[in-house]
Structures are given as C-alpha cells and as structure tokens.
Structure 1
Amino acid sequence: MTVFPCLKISSRDLLRFYQEAFGLRLVAVFPPEGEEVDHAQLRLGDGAIMCGTRGATEQPLGATLTYWVLPDAAAVDALYARAIAAGATSVREPYVPDYGGRECGLADPDGNGWSFGTYAGEPG
C-alpha cells in the first residue's frame, strides 16, 4: 500500500517553495501553467506528497502535518537550516525526543506542518 499526504495549497508558489526549502522534486503538475493547481506531486527519497489549490473537499489551508524520515541527524540539521533560509517558520528547532533520534518542526507559508526526523517508527 502507498500513502500520499494531500495538502491544500494557496498558490503555485508553494510548489517552488517546497523545492527550495525542503528539497522536494516536482514530479507532476496539472495544468502545467497558470496559478491554479488541480494536482501536483512532489517526491523526497521514497516519500511523496500530492497537493493542489482546489479539491473535492474544502480542507482549510494549514490543516496538514507531514513527517519525513531522514537518514541521520546531520540531514535533519541541514534540512532545517535550508528551510529556515528559504522562509519556513520554525515550530521546533532540531532536538532529541524521548523516543530517540533527532527531529525538527517547520511550517510552510500556508501554515502546513512539516516534521523531519530520523525516527522511522517501531518495527512490526
């Protein structure tokens, strides 16, 4: 099974922000031009999100939180610094949670939450 977090975004500018701030790679966007985005897909490693300015539901902006697993603590720190430099808002600076690993919390310009960390979940 594959799961795609789906974000409602305010404009096509968020696609550029995700690429610059978080290093996501734009895989698809429809329509290819214009301000409205019916569907976009972005990837980071094995993970992906889908997003658009319109949708079947009236999800409010800023209502989504995603968690991305990174390979090590250095990657968490580097992504946090990159995202802050690109204009992301810090929700929580990189830290070591009680369950181990390292993670940080950020918000995009629409208020969606982005967590990046090394904790890959418990096996099983």
Structure 2
Amino acid sequence: MTVRVSGVPQRSVWASVVSDDAPALREWLLRLGFTEDLLIPGERAGAIHHCQLDWPEGGRILLSSTGERPTPCRPGTASLHVVTADPDAVMARATAMDATVVHEIVEQTDYPSREMAVADPDGNHWTFATFAGT
C-alpha cells in the first residue's frame, strides 16, 4: 500500500469536544500537557461555556459543558489526533495519572509514525503521534 500525503502539515483545524463534566476533562487535558488560552464559565455552577486549550507544539481544542452551546457533538464520541515530537513523554504523563490506555506506544510500519492512544474520562480517544504529514 502506498500512502500519499500533500507534504503540507496542517494545524489550523480546531476540534470541539463537549463533556458532561467539562471541568474534570479540562483538568485531565492540562495534566496531559495542554495549556489554557481562554476560559469562559458556563451559565450553570461548575459548567464551562467555552474553553480553549492549546497543544504546545501547535493546535487547539475547544471544550464546553454539555448543553452550554448548540452542537451535534456528544460526550465520548470523539477521536482526536495530536501531533507531538515526543509521544513517550505524553505516555509517561498519561500513565502517571492512570489514564485508560487504548494502545501502547507503537512504531507504525505502513506510514512513518510513533504513536500511542489514551481515552479521556468521557471515553474520547486521543492519539498522540509523530505523524503530521510529510
């Protein structure tokens, strides 16, 4: 099988994730290595209307509490790919916080990537991989 890519790494699409417990998911993502850019509290006590979390190597995700914004997104239904130069460091942080490991570090054989995946508290899958396109 031949894998064809454009050769242009893209970091401008921002994924949106909703959670029944957005404050807990926010904390989980911060512990994994994301940094907070913006936090707008929700209408309900303990809810998040809008939160922007940045990956230090590029990219951003948007997080909100269920019911805060009109969206077809549902908790636990997302699968996200995060590009990182060091998936081993992310795996170490995930292991330290007892994250659910979807798959351990693997060297892909049909495309150039070293990667691992974990599930967040809502059940979303987060793959951290060296592959950003070539």
Instruction: Answer whether TM exceeds 0.5 for this pair.
Output: yes
Question: Who wins on radius of gyration, i.e. which is larger?
Answer: 2
Give the count of matched residue pairs: 118
Mind listing any 5+ residue stretches in structure 1 that lack a counterpart? none
TM-score for the superposition, normalised by structure 2: 0.80
1:28 to 38, 46, 68: 38
Q: Deviations 1:39-72 (Å, cap 9, x if unpaired)?
A: 000001211100101321242211111111112x
Aligned to 1:103: 115
Residue correspondence of structure 1 range 1-124 to structure 2 within 5 A: 2-11=12-21, 12-20=23-31, 22-31=32-41, 34-45=45-56, 46-53=58-65, 54-71=68-85, 75-98=86-109, 99-122=111-134
The residue type equivalent to 1:2 in the other structure is: S
Q: Which runs of 5+ in 2 are unaligned?
A: 1-10
Structure 2 letter corresponding to 1:116: F
Amino acid aligned to 1:64: A
Letter in 2 for 1:68: V
Give 4+ residue runs of structure 1 displaced > 6 Å after superposition.
none
Is the deviation greater in 93-102 or in 50-59?
A: 50-59
Percent same amino acid at aligned positions?
A: 31
Whether the aligned pair in 1 keeps the contact of 2:12 and 2:59 (CA below 8 Å) is no
Please report how far the alpha carbon of residue 82 of structure 1 lies from its aligned counterpart in structure 2 after TM superposition. Answer: 0.7
TM-score norm. by structure 1 comes to: 0.86
**In the TM superposition, what whole-angstrom CA distance separates every residue of 1:73-100 from its partner, at most 9, and x where no partner exists?**
xx21111121122131100000011212
C-alpha RMSD of the superposition: 1.8
